[in-house]
A and B are shown apart, each in its own frame.
Chain A
């Protein structure tokens, strides 16, 4: 019987399988950041262990970094302590470290692909659930806890049972104004936040084939929001074109050797999945969330569902709407917003800023809206400037900040104040996620841009000719 893409990569990395237990899986790339690693390094020290493969380990600071005045010392002593711990641990164990102020610094899931660390057919982990992003390249990539970070540091392996396999096919043509973020939010709204728990997802069909690498990253990034361990897309010419010539990408004979492996990375025709789902591209419109988890999303032109029409408990649903200060049956379009956040590992890449610029070009930001534009990395920041997007933003009344995770999880000072309503291109609308009491509407960069201009939730299609 044939193998799926996932089987091929997973099976090639199984050191041993334990009967009625997990597989021991070798990890090719380990991304490390300042928040989930310090306790792992402490564990390593207390056991007297070394980092087994520092050359397969890459550290960057992102979760807890300021997005203004990065050249100045970090004011919060706790944040500064974590950054210092990462720097010291990286130095002690010989790990590459792109810390705050480094020219290659940025969000871990943005810089990995940018510098060719992410490659097809590798296994990749990080103490961050959005590690699934790297699946866009045909890698098996997923988030792990700190105990597992310590395992990978000390043995380059993790121990997990092989997950079940799901394929999600989306075929047909997307409507105008529908972006990869909308495709992902649509799928999550159909599956709920637990619909893919226990599965590893492969995305297939016209829609993902036609997507750019950035778009594929956005989709794979959000796999965790439907509970999946991760998501992946078979590599193709677009993938190889993207990675060619990047800093860590193999060259010459090594490239040829890699290609001979990469070209085997697709799901065989006779391979089977534990679950297979099909969606039509034409059914998807620009999406927006109205509740407190990413599964609570609707087409932007729709109204908020009644409690009796949704899956799950009525009490939980009402608690969620109560937190958002919304009512069943209300329209989303026209709701007055206070903040707009564009950035994060979900939508902080150059393509996202291009989309934002397409809408705001020649227009003005609504006066009452505070907008935070946070590039995913210095490379993205540089591209924004080189492509002239910064001029467009400045003329429209927007400022650009420095790279980091920022208001996606609000560990730094970028917190949406209590009660304020934000349209955000990030990945989670949980209670308080963007700051205590903050209220989040997840959407695409196009929806965020249109809403920033109008000052209310706006369907971006009215801006697209």
Chain B
């Protein structure tokens, strides 16, 4: 599925300084029953966000009007657990285009890259700096610059670079996905398959 191109994103951010946020929290299993990709944003962090009677939990950050933006800043080991791409869809559908963390779980990170959410891994120190900046001023703007591979706190100019391989970077900048790539080398794949060990 094609997605919007990602170049430079400047936005306020929503802080979630909890470690090991697993994909069961991002989107609980009972909301995985759809056969179409729509409406997952409504159930993002469902059980942290709503009580069992569907009333909002006021203490949860997504229900706090002070915080908003297209960037989600999570604690260490964000997105662990289940491979459900629905977690990345929920993040995207809610309106986030970028997740910043000091450490990502593998499959979640991959899923994000495949659907156009940019996972930005920063040092623990820089992650702490971002959390503190948002805590002291919820209007703190963060610039995520994909061509330059930098993340910057606009107010102070403090900046850190982040890693992304050039293939994935190209995909994100152009809104391409891997399926486009694979379709173009199908002949090569068929040839390869003739000489498999089994």
A contacts, CB < 8 Å to B: 12-13, 15-16, 18-22, 24, 26, 28, 35-36, 38-39, 42-43, 47, 49, 52-53, 63-64, 76, 78-79, 81-82, 85, 119, 121-122, 127-129, 143-148, 150-151, 154-161, 193-194, 197-198, 224, 227, 229, 258, 261, 293, 312-313, 315-316, 319, 409-411, 418, 428, 430-433, 436-437
Contacts and interface: CB of A to CB of B under 8 A. Distances in A.
Given A154-B182, A418-B52, A21 B82 contact: no
Contact of B165 (A20, A39, A128, A428): A20
Given A26-B196, A78-B33, A157 B189 contact: yes
A156 B106 contact: no
19 contacts: A21-B166, A21-B168, A26-B196, A35-B33, A47-B179, A53-B193, A76-B33, A85-B35, A129-B107, A143-B83, A151-B179, A224-B107, A313-B75, A313-B76, A315-B18, A410-B29, A430-B22, A430-B24, A431-B25
Given A144-B83, A431-B25, A432-B24, 19 more contacts: A12-B196, A19-B166, A21-B166, A21-B167, A35-B33, A63-B32, A64-B32, A127-B83, A145-B85, A147-B179, A151-B179, A157-B182, A193-B20, A197-B106, A224-B81, A227-B105, A316-B75, A409-B82, A411-B33
B178 interface: yes
Contact of B193 (A22, A26, A81): A26
A40 B43 CA distance: 21
A128 to B, nearest CB: 6
A150 B34 CA distance: 17
Contacts, number: 201
A355 B198 CA distance: 36
Interface stretch (B6-14, B63-71, B108-116, B149-157): B108-116
A38 B86 CA distance: 12
B107 A194 contact: no
A79 B33 contact: yes
Interface in B65-114: 75-77, 80-86, 88, 103-107, 110-111, 114
Interface string B133-177: 000000000000000000000000000000001111000000001
Contacts of B86: 146
Closest 6 CB pairs of A and B: A21-B167, A145-B85, A78-B33, A38-B35, A143-B83, A147-B114
Q: Is the interface of A mostly helix, strand, loop or mixed?
A: loop
Contact of B20 (A35, A63, A129, A316): A316
B75 A121 contact: no
A133 B179 CA distance: 27
A161 B168 CA distance: 11
Interface of B: 1, 17-20, 22, 24-25, 28-30, 32-37, 47, 52, 75-77, 80-86, 88, 103-107, 110-111, 114-115, 165-168, 177-179, 181-183, 185-186, 188-189, 192-193, 196-198
B33 A154 contact: no
A144 B114 CA distance: 11
Given A312-B76, A436-B47, A129 B83 contact: yes
Contacts of B18: 315-316, 319
A197 B183 contact: no
